[in-house]
């Protein structure tokens, strides 16, 4: 006997013993409408809409509004006090869409006592493009004598920020004092 004959004979025997000559078939559903509810069934309450919590998309404003030319990371390259160049020291300025963070130190009049400043501000342009309104979020600095001053939260400063061909100049008052930065990133 051929080696495939036995399995074929078994399949034919099973098929012949089943009703209608083949494997059982599922009942075809009546696709016209669903089955009716039992006569004594109460109606179901309406299904409420699922609760969907809003998802903040903080990335979307960046897609639709152009970046301000001031935005970015800047590194201190020069410092002027009263119109005269002074040793620059080291410092960074980070400007985002609405926040500005500054951190730097420079030599003071006493070589043992550097001048320090660290601050975080919210910012916006005023009516004049180069003038920015800075609102203090957290800021402190020391004076030439070393005394630390904490700027009051919420206090407002107006500063002139001038974009140069290869940098950014931030003016400090009217006496020719400024900090000059070069784009680091």
Structural domain boundaries, residue 139: 74-183
Q: Does some domain include residue 78?
A: yes
pLDDT computed for residue 7 by the predictor: 63
* Confidence band of 1 (pLDDT split at 50, 70, 90): low
Q: Does some domain include residue 86?
A: yes
**pLDDT tens-place string over residues 138-161:** 999 999 899 999 999 999 999 999
Q: Does some domain include residue 90?
A: yes
Is the pLDDT reported for residue 62 higher than 70?
A: no
Q: Does some domain include residue 13?
A: no
pLDDT computed for residue 59 by the predictor: 73
Q: In whole angstroms, what is the distance from residue 102 CA to residue 93 CA? A: 4
Q: Does some domain include residue 29?
A: no
Cα dihedral sign, 138-142-146-152: negative
Predicted TM-score (pTM) of this structure: 0.65
Q: Does some domain include residue 148?
A: yes
pLDDT computed for residue 51 by the predictor: 77
Q: Which residues, in sequence order, are CB contacts of 135 under 8 Å at separation 6+?
A: 121, 122, 123, 154, 155, 156
- What's the total number of domains in the chain? 1
Q: Does some domain include residue 105?
A: yes
* Confidence band of 61 (pLDDT split at 50, 70, 90): low
For 8, phi then psi, to 5°, come to: -65, -45
């Amino acid at each position: 006997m051929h080696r495939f004959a036995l399995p074929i004979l078994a399949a034919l025997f099973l098929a012949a013993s089943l009703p209608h000559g083949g494997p059982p078939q599922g009942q075809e559903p009546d696709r016209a409408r669903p089955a009716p509810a039992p006569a004594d069934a109460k109606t179901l309450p309406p299904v409420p809409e699922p609760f969907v919590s809003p998802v903040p998309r903080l990335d979307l404003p960046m897609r639709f509004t152009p970046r301000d030319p001031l935005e970015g990371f800047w590194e201190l390259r020069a410092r002027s006090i009263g119109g005269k160049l002074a040793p620059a020291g080291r410092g960074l300025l980070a400007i985002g869409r609405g926040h500005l963070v500054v951190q730097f130190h420079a030599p003071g009049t006493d070589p043992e006592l550097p001048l320090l400043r660290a601050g975080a501000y919210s910012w916006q342009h005023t009516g004049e493009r180069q003038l920015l309104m800075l609102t203090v979020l957290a800021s402190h600095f020391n004076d030439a004598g070393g005394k630390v001053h904490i700027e009051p939260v919420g206090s407002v400063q107006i500063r002139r920020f001038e974009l140069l061909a290869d940098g950014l100049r931030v003016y400090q008052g009217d006496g020719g004092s400024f900090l000059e930065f070069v784009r680091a990133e």
